[in-house]
Structure 1
Amino acid sequence: MPVNLSIKNAPDDVVVKLKARAARNHRSLQGELMAIVTAAAEEPYATLSDVRESVRGLKLSSRSESTEIVRQMRDERMRALLDRR
């Protein structure tokens, strides 16, 4: 049985972006939100064993090497966030 969902206090800038995205995809705002929610619900999530297996697949030689990779990824995310501002 379908259920009605509601998002309260959505920031104006987010609503504008969602409406633009909906227009690009030739959908109503409601249709776009349904597509986003459906995709998120169907997206597989990683279990701890999945993460372990992925890390083992990297064949890292030391903890410091993995630490450096994590730091690089963090720095890239921070640069991307700062570039958006």
Structure 2
Amino acid sequence: MATLTVRGLDDETRARLRIRAAQHGRSMEAEVRAILHDLLMPAPPARGLGSHIHARFAAIGGGELEPPARDEAPRAAVFDE
């Protein structure tokens, strides 16, 4: 685990950090770790798997399907005994 020292932090920034840490129930050091983690970690994908698959194959076309004709009325399922 690395150690980082921040020098030259102005009083206003330190005060805001102290308040923010207190609001989250953390020490100032833990708050700085959380801020850095949130800012530097990649965000989860905004789209789901289906959207990614669609985007990947959209360039080649052929992804649009026509729904089948609904000429017949629905009927009950028949199960063999």
* TM-score w.r.t. length of structure 2: 0.50
Count of residue pairs brought into register by the alignment: 43
Deviations 1:17-42 (A, max 9, x none): 00000000000001100000111110
Gaps of 5+ in 2: 44-81
Gaps of 5+ in 1: 45-85
Deviation, structure 1 residue 43: 3.8
Name the structure where helix makes up a greater proportion of residues.
1
Moved over 2 A (4+): none
* TM-score w.r.t. length of structure 1: 0.48
Question: What is the RMSD of the two structures over their aligned residues, measured on CA atoms?
Answer: 1.0
Q: Percent identity?
A: 26
Larger gyration radius, structure 1 or structure 2: 2
Cα distance in 2, alignment partners of residues 40 and 31 from structure 1: 14
Task: Say if 2:23 is the partner of 1:24.
Answer: yes
